[in-house]
Structure 1
Amino acid sequence: MGEVHMLVSPRGGRGRAAAAAPVVRRVIEQAGHMPVDISGSSAEESADAARAVGAAGAERLIAVGGDGTLNLAAQGVAGTGTALGIVPAGTGNDFARAFGLFGLSVEEAAAIALGSTRPVDAIRTDRQRWVTLSVTGGFSVDVNVRADRMRFPKGPSRYTVATLLTMPGLRHRELAVTVDGQRTELRSALFAVNNTRTFGGGMAICPDADPADGLIDVCAVGPASRTTMLRLLPKVFEGGHVGHRQVHMMRGRTVTIEGEMDLVGDGEEFGPAPIRLEVVPGALQIAAADPSPSTLS
């Protein structure tokens, strides 16, 4: 009987992760494996436990929670060959969306988490931390902070409501983005450096991003008025903002962000800029629902 390690968020999805954990354990046991819960009492403890799992050459780690929990798991298994399964039980679950896992039952997601894997890129930062989904700054960080403090509504719509509530305080920052040595300066309301298409609970901020193409995508918006931002907001869910004259799209292997702003990485506070990001192709082995490109839409 092989061991399957689990990393469970104690607060993911306002308790959904904790509720999902017993179901995941049962699925693991029914598959003939032994579940081993490595969850720590803090993010630091959980990340350290994940690193120990990766360093030991464990076969598989399943993250039960949202994008933040997946990020903690990635700190340990990126670049190791340890398979990473995902049972989405957070608020945004944007990384899970990229692989056909969002909307599945816990049983379905857990079964897939025990299945075959595909190589997926990860983003390595100059802060000794990995990113699986995105690094954002500006208005998107203000929205993330507000959303984390809200109790209602639950689920991805919380980000939409938080966006509307934060809009009156919209402000611009001086931003410099360097992609593969090409520097762009602008006054930006927000930016996102993405490995996958979406952030913020399904907003397709970088609609052409592919987490297996060896590249990272950048979207910088600004300068833009509140009226323009409100008009762009509903379009973002389908990627319809691309092409607007205040929307700047870039793509490359290395990205440096400079400016006076705080950053959020995979939904968690990341400290202030500057930061340097580099894509590492195939750094993760993800257990996905469907390896076809259709799951990336």
Structure 2
Amino acid sequence: MRWQVLVGPRAWNPSLWRSVEQAFVSHDLAFDLHRTVTADDVQHAVTRARGDAHRHFVAMGGDGAMNIVLNAVLAEPWDKPPVLGALPAGTGSDFIRMFAIPQDTSAAVAHLVGDRVYRSDVGLLEGSWGARFFLNVAQLGIGGAAVKRSEHLRFLGPARYQAGFWSALPAFPPRLISVRAEEKVIETRALMVVIANG
């Protein structure tokens, strides 16, 4: 088994990577590093890895990085199910907390040792904009607008999400939404829809 480690620009830090690389070596884990900039870069790296018969991937970053890698992995046809691991290196790594994976990036490498795998449901959102898979939480409405605004407030650290929400709220009227989950359909006006998996 050879792990394909995908690291985006927000998670890349040379000194952090040196400690992560050392953790891979000390655990005797084979890996290839893929530094990516865009979602297309991630898709190309996953496609090449699949072509080389690799199916073990690691997203190094936060929940956003996990979802980018998840969508790239699930866009490919697989003979055997792929495996997705996580190394926290973002401001939000909520999904991996459910699995007691350490928030320390180097310490988290230990969860990649062995063949223990946690199965997880994956959500699928479909709309006029296309389709998107998600692992943890999907937010539509003001939640998405708040996240978009928070990208310009990175200097606030974790508080940027709250600041993004409060700055988006005055200009965001309730919208007509329709949610279908299996046989149930909900149609209403709402500021936000949150779909959680976990």
Q: Same-fold call, TM > 0.5? A: yes
2:37 equivalent to 1:75: no
Which residue of structure 2 aligns with residue 41 of structure 1? 37
Which residue of structure 1 aligns with residue 10 of structure 2? 11
1:84 CA drift (Å): 1.8
Q: Of 155, 158, 163, which aligns to 1:152? A: 155
TM-score, length basis structure 2: 0.81
Which residue of structure 2 aligns with residue 138 of structure 1? 141
Which letter does structure 1 place at the counterpart of 2:108? A
With over 3 angstroms needed to count, the CA separation of the structure-2 counterparts of 1:72 and 1:18, relative to structure 1, is farther
1:71 CA drift (Å): 1.6
Q: Looking at secondary structure, tell me which structure has more helix per residue.
A: 2
Write the deviation string for residues 184-234 of structure 1: whole angstroms up to 9, x where unpaired.
221101102222xxxxxxxxxxxxxx3xxxxxxxxxxxxxxxxxxxxxxxx
Which letter does structure 2 place at the counterpart of 1:154? G
1:172 CA drift (Å): 0.6
Which residue of structure 2 aligns with residue 111 of structure 1? 110
Q: Whose relative contact order is higher, 1 or 2, with alpha carbons under 8 Å and at least 6 apart?
A: 1
Whether the aligned pair in 2 keeps the contact of 1:5 and 1:38 (CA below 8 Å) is yes
Write the deviation string for residues 89-148 of structure 1: whole angstroms up to 9, x where unpaired.
11221222222236x322211111334211111123454543222332111112111111
Q: Please give the residue correspondences for 1:1-297 in structure 2 after superposition, counting only pairs within 5 Å.
A: 2-12=1-11, 19-54=15-50, 56-78=52-74, 80-101=80-101, 104-115=103-114, 116-126=116-126, 127=130, 129-155=132-158, 157-195=159-197, 210=198
SS at match of 2:169: helix
1:59 CA drift (Å): 4.9
With over 3 angstroms needed to count, the CA separation of the structure-2 counterparts of 1:19 and 1:143, relative to structure 1, is farther
Identity of aligned residues (%): 22
1:87 CA drift (Å): 0.8
With over 3 angstroms needed to count, the CA separation of the structure-2 counterparts of 1:144 and 1:70, relative to structure 1, is same
* Structure-2 separation of matches of 1:137 and 1:106: 30
* Structure-1 separation of matches of 2:55 and 2:27: 15
Whether the aligned pair in 2 keeps the contact of 1:63 and 1:86 (CA below 8 Å) is yes
Note the residue ranges of structure 1 that are not aligned, 5 or more in a row: 196-209, 211-297
* Structure-1 separation of matches of 2:9 and 2:72: 18
* Structure-2 separation of matches of 1:19 and 1:131: 30
With over 3 angstroms needed to count, the CA separation of the structure-2 counterparts of 1:82 and 1:19, relative to structure 1, is farther
* Structure-1 separation of matches of 2:191 and 2:183: 23
CA RMSD of aligned residues (A): 2.4
Write the deviation string for residues 247-273 of structure 1: whole angstroms up to 9, x where unpaired.
xxxxxxxxxxxxxxxxxxxxxxxxxxx
SS at match of 1:152: helix
Tell me how many residue pairs correspond in the alignment. 190
Whether the aligned pair in 2 keeps the contact of 1:8 and 1:39 (CA below 8 Å) is yes
SS at match of 2:71: helix
